[in-house]
Amino acid sequence: MKRKLFCALLLPLLLACNPQPDIDDATMLDGTQINDLSVYEPEKYLVSLATPYPTEQEKNTPVLIAAHGYSATTFEWDELREFADRDGSFRVSQVLLGGHGRDFADFKASRWQDWQSAICDEYRRLRKAGYKHISLAGSSTGAPLIVQLFTNGFFDINGAPDEIFLIDPIVVSSNKLLVFVNILGPVLGYTTTDLDEGEKGRWYVYRPQESLRQLMALINLTRRDLEKGITLTPGTRLKIYKSEIDLTADPVSAVLLHKGLRTATGAKVDVEMIPSSLHVYTRLRGRDHFTPEDVDFQQGTFQEMSERIKL
Amino acid sequence: MKHFLFFILLFSTQLMAFEPADRTSTDTVRTEITTATPAAVVTRLNLPARSKVTNSSVISPYLIVQKTFALYWEGGVGVDYTHQKLADERLHFSADYLSSRLGSAWGSNALKQDYFSAGVHWHSWQHSSLRWVNGLKGSYFTVDYEDDEFNNLPSSTILVAFETGMLYTTSLLDVKMLFGVHFFSGNGSTIPGSVFPVYSQLSVLLPIRLNDR
C-alpha cells in the first residue's frame, strides 16, 4: 500500500519534469525559422571576417569586441556599432555567443564555455590578422564571460586587451530564485520572458533550465573568483557601468566587481553608477519605454568608451 | 488539688514547649500561613508548583556559524534565554550578532555585512534529547560597500525570517541546526543585493541554569 501511495505521489512529479515550451517557429527566435542576422551574414558583424587582411592603418585602428547578454543576440550592440560608424575612431565586432541566436535546442545544449568561445574565437582571429588594439565590452552575462578570460590565462596566451567595459554586469541576479535552479530546474523545465514588441525575434522567449543552471554556475564561479581577487593583464584598463536600479542584474554586482578586480599595478578599476532603472541601459532600441535621460546616459557612455579606446 | 496543680504545671510546660523561642520562629509560622493562600491560586491556574528545583531560568551563550545558500559563510555570537514560566522552558528568546567579517570576508574581497538579530523560538518534544525548534527571527542587516560611488544603493534593511530545525541536548552542551527563509530578499532596487533567501545555521550553546531565590 505504501509503495502504491509513493508511486501515485511520484508519478505526477515525474510527468511534470522538464516540460517542453510551445514554440511558434514563425515569430520566435526560439524556433527554427528565425536566427540572429549575424548567422546569415557574419562578415557584417565581425571585423575579423569583414577585414581579414587589414592594412597597417587598419591594424592600428582600435577594435571593440562587444558581447551581448544571456538569451540576447547581437542586436543588443547595434546602437554602439552605429555610433562607432559615425565616430570613425574605432570599429565594433559584434559576436554572437555560442548557443544563442539560433533555436531552443541549441540554447538548451550549450554550456557557458560555449557562450564564451565566440568571444575567444573572434579575439584570436583579430590577433592573428594583426590587429594591435583590441578592447572588449560585455553587457550583463557578457561581462562575467569576459572577466573569466582573466582567470583562465586566455589573455596571457593571446595578448592583453587595451580596454574592458562592463555594462550592467551580472554577478548576482536580482531574482534570487535563480539560486534554486539546480533544485527547481528539473521540475520547471524552462522559464518564460515577457518581451517588448521590438524585442520579439531578437531574444529567446524561453529559458531552458539547463541554460539557467549554466548561468548560475558562471556567476557563482565569478563571484568566488572575485572574492579571491582577479588581476588584469599589464596595460589593461577596466570600467564598470551599472544602473542603480536593475531588476535583472543586481546592482551589488558592481560592488563585487569593484572590490575583486585590480589592474596589474594593483589599482582599483573604474566604476560609475548610472541613475537608470534599465537593464543594459546602453540598448534602447526595441524597448517600449525609455526617457530622454536614458538617451543621454547611453550616448554619454558611448562617448566615454570612444575616448578611453582612443587613448 | 494536687492533681489540679500538676495539671497546671504540665499544661504550662506544654505551652512553653510550643512557645516560639524568638521572633524568627514566630515569622516562620506566619510565613507558612501566608504562602498557603497563593499556593492554592497557583494550583487553580494549573501552573507548576513553586520549588527551588523547578523555578529556574536557563541562559545559554552560544557560538553560531551561518552559511547562506549560494553566498557567504558568516560567524557570530549570541545568547538564548528561557524560564520555567515560559511554557516550561519551551519558549525561548535569543539575540545574536552575525557577520561575514567572521567568515567569508575574513581575508577576502567578500562583502562585509552584519546582522543584529532577535528571535523567538518554540521547542517541541521538550523531554527528549532531540528537540524540534521553530521560530521567527528579526534582524537589522547592514552592509559596507566601502566606496562612495555606491552611496545610492540600499545598504541596510530589516529582515524577517522563519526558522526551523533540531536541537540536540547533552549534559554539557546543546547543538542546534536551523534552516531559515527570509520573507524578503535582495531585489535589485530596495533591498541590498547580498540578502539571499535561504540559510542554514549551526549553533553550539552552553546552557547555564539559574535557580530563582
Residue B109 and residue A220: Cβ atoms within 8 Å?
Answer: no
Question: Does the structure show a pLDDT above 60 at B28?
Answer: no
- How many angstroms separate the CA of residue B196 from the nearest CA in chain A? 6
Flag residues of chain A having pLDDT under 50: 1, 15
Residue B147 and residue A244: Cβ atoms within 8 Å?
Answer: no
Q: Which of A170, A156, A172, A169 is nearest to A231 (CA)?
A: A156
Question: Does the structure show a pLDDT above 70 at B41?
Answer: no
- pLDDT for residue B116: 98
Average pLDDT, chain B: 82
Residue B149 and residue A259: Cβ atoms within 8 Å?
Answer: no
- Please list the residues that pair with B119 across neighbouring strands: B94, B137
Residues recorded for chain A: 311
Closest by Cβ to A252, choosing from B109, B194, B197: B194
Mean pLDDT of B130-135: 96
- Check if A248 contacts B (Cβ < 8 Å): yes
Q: For the whole model, what pTM was predicted? A: 0.85
Please report where in the chains the cell 497563593 appears, as a residue.
B38
Residue of A nearest to B197 (CA): A176
Instruction: Give the cell for residue A217.
Output: 554556475
What single DSSP character describes residue A177? G
Q: Which of the pair, B211 or B193, is modelled with greater confidence?
A: B193
- pLDDT for residue B4: 44
Question: Does the structure show a pLDDT above 90 at B36?
Answer: no
Q: How far is Cα B186 from Cα B155, in angstroms, rounded to an integer?
A: 11
Complex ipTM: 0.88
B196 contacts on A by Cβ (under 8 Å): 176, 179
CB atoms within 10 A of CB A180: 15
B152 contacts on A by Cβ (under 8 Å): 244, 273, 275
Question: Does the structure show a pLDDT above 50 at B26?
Answer: no
- pLDDT for residue B75: 97
- pLDDT for residue A116: 98
Q: How far is Cα A235 from Cα A62, in angstroms, rounded to an integer?
A: 15
Residue of B nearest to A279 (CA): B188
B155 contacts on A by Cβ (under 8 Å): none
Beta pairing class for A63-67 and A91-95: parallel
Residue B188 and residue A247: Cβ atoms within 8 Å?
Answer: yes
Residue B149 and residue A272: Cβ atoms within 8 Å?
Answer: yes
- pLDDT for residue A7: 52
Residue of A nearest to B155 (CA): A252
- How many angstroms separate the CA of residue A271 from the nearest CA in chain B? 8
- Check if B70 contacts A (Cβ < 8 Å): yes
Tens-place pLDDT, residues B158-196 = 999 999 999 999 989 999 999 999 999 999 899 999 999
- Please list the residues that pair with A212 across neighbouring strands: none
- Check if B93 contacts A (Cβ < 8 Å): no
- pLDDT for residue A31: 85
Q: Output the DSSP codes for A61-75.
A: S-EEEEE--TT--GG
B198 contacts on A by Cβ (under 8 Å): 179-180
- Check if A117 contacts B (Cβ < 8 Å): no
Q: How far is Cα B211 from Cα A284, in angstroms, rounded to an integer?
A: 70
- How many angstroms separate the CA of residue B127 from the nearest CA in chain A? 31
Q: How far is Cα B7 from Cα B177, in angstroms, rounded to an integer?
A: 76
- Check if B165 contacts A (Cβ < 8 Å): no
Tens-place pLDDT, residues B75-123 = 999 999 999 999 999 999 999 999 999 999 999 999 999 999 999 999 9
- pLDDT for residue A43: 94
Q: Which of the pair, B19 or B203, is modelled with greater confidence?
A: B203
Query: For B138, phi and psi rounded to 5 degrees?
Result: -110, 140
- How many angstroms separate the CA of residue A229 from the nearest CA in chain B? 7
Closest by Cβ to A252, choosing from B109, B186, B198: B186
Residue B192 and residue A252: Cβ atoms within 8 Å?
Answer: yes
Please report where in the chains the cell 585602428 appears, as a residue.
A61
- How many angstroms separate the CA of residue B204 from the nearest CA in chain A? 28
Contacts of A296 (CB under 8 A, 6+ apart): none
- pLDDT for residue A3: 59
Among B73, B153, B182, the residue to mutate for chain A (most A Cβ within 10 A) = B153
Residue of A nearest to B144 (CA): A255
- Band the pLDDT of B54: cuts 50, 70, 90: low
- pLDDT for residue B72: 96
